Homo-oligomer: A and B are copies of this chain.
Amino acid sequence: MTTELKNDTLIRALLRQPVDRTPVWIMRQAGRYLPEYLKIRTEAGSFMNLCQTPELACEVTMQPLRRFKLDAAILFSDILTIPDVMGMNLYFEEGKGPKFANPITSSSDIHKLPRPDVGESLAYVMDAVSMVRRELDGKVPLIGFSGSPWTLFTYMIEGGSSKTFSKSKKLIYQEPALAHMLLAKLADTVTDYLNLQIESGAQIIQIFDTWGGVLCARAFKEFSLRYLTRIVSGLKRENEGRRVPTILFCKACNTQLEALADTGCDALGVDWTISLREARERVGSRVALQGNLDPAVLLADPETIHREVNHTLTSFGKAQGHVFNLGHGITPDVKPEHLGALINSVWELSPAFH
């Protein structure tokens, strides 16, 4: 397992060490914008089957690396594997997002949720991690990930996606003790899950708090940030003789950047609603920053993409600790050659910033 890592640019940038150019990877780089992904997705029958079959998850993880000069692979999986193995039984209805066969309908359902043995129930994830590491053979590092406790909580309490998050919010405001009980259980499970991914070969960890931004500032600190801090402090920080950097990506949480930088993580993912210059001024050199091009820029022509990549690099400026990425996942309507144009622009323009 401890093969030499031939390209450690991303790990170095996440640890604010000098690099020759700005490393780049893309959230949802293995995804629906790739025709080869759509083919394997159709063959797999269901999305869950794709996640749960290590050979397929591994193949999908590798697909974007065959097309593009990316500085990392990210494990193909879903953030809702944890509620699934807590007994809620996840499934996907075409065009309707995630659903649970056993939804939560009462307080007593929440009390009954077990803390799952993820080593056993999510062994398929660990198998996929090991398989991707073998396949990568040290070419680039592998990123493991999980959803944040608050984000998992919203899907579990709402029974799927939501626009208003009314059930989750009603619960935290009216029954905070019950909410904390579930969030604590989720935080401990996520910690187990990520440590197992690290032991299986994940070399970088990203935690996605997709829905932290729907909370008011005070509730964010109490119901999301507290559990992010608990996870970061419980993570294995070194493996195979190398630091395992942790990235927190909290969408629409830009008013919380300072607090997030204080969790002990190595890097913050930043969405496009704040300039990297301002974000850097606010967090200083405590953490690296990852982002933050608006994914919609990839719908424009390659010339526009080149110009916007340059704006993003210029906004961060000449300093250590920038990882190029989008401010959110790549969307299915992007042409793969447009992503190619973005990655080529980062390779071409970024050396001047180092």
* A residues neighboring B (CB under 8 Å): 164-166, 169-170, 173-174, 213, 215-220, 252-255, 272-275, 278, 292-294, 296-297, 299-301, 304, 308, 311, 315, 327, 331, 333
Contact = CB atoms under 8 A, between A and B. Distances in A.
A296 B166 contact: yes
A22 B170 CA distance: 26
Contacts of A311: 218
Number of copies: 2
Nearest to A294: B216
A299 B166 contact: yes
A13 B166 CA distance: 31
A213 B273 contact: yes
Contact of A174 (B273, B292, B300): B300
Given A218-B311, A273-B216, A173 B254 contact: no
15 contacts: A166-B296, A169-B296, A169-B299, A170-B296, A170-B300, A173-B300, A174-B300, A174-B301, A215-B294, A216-B272, A216-B292, A218-B275, A252-B252, A255-B255, A255-B274
A293 B169 CA distance: 13
Contact of A333 (B166, B213, B292): B166
Contacts of A219: 294
B215 A174 contact: no
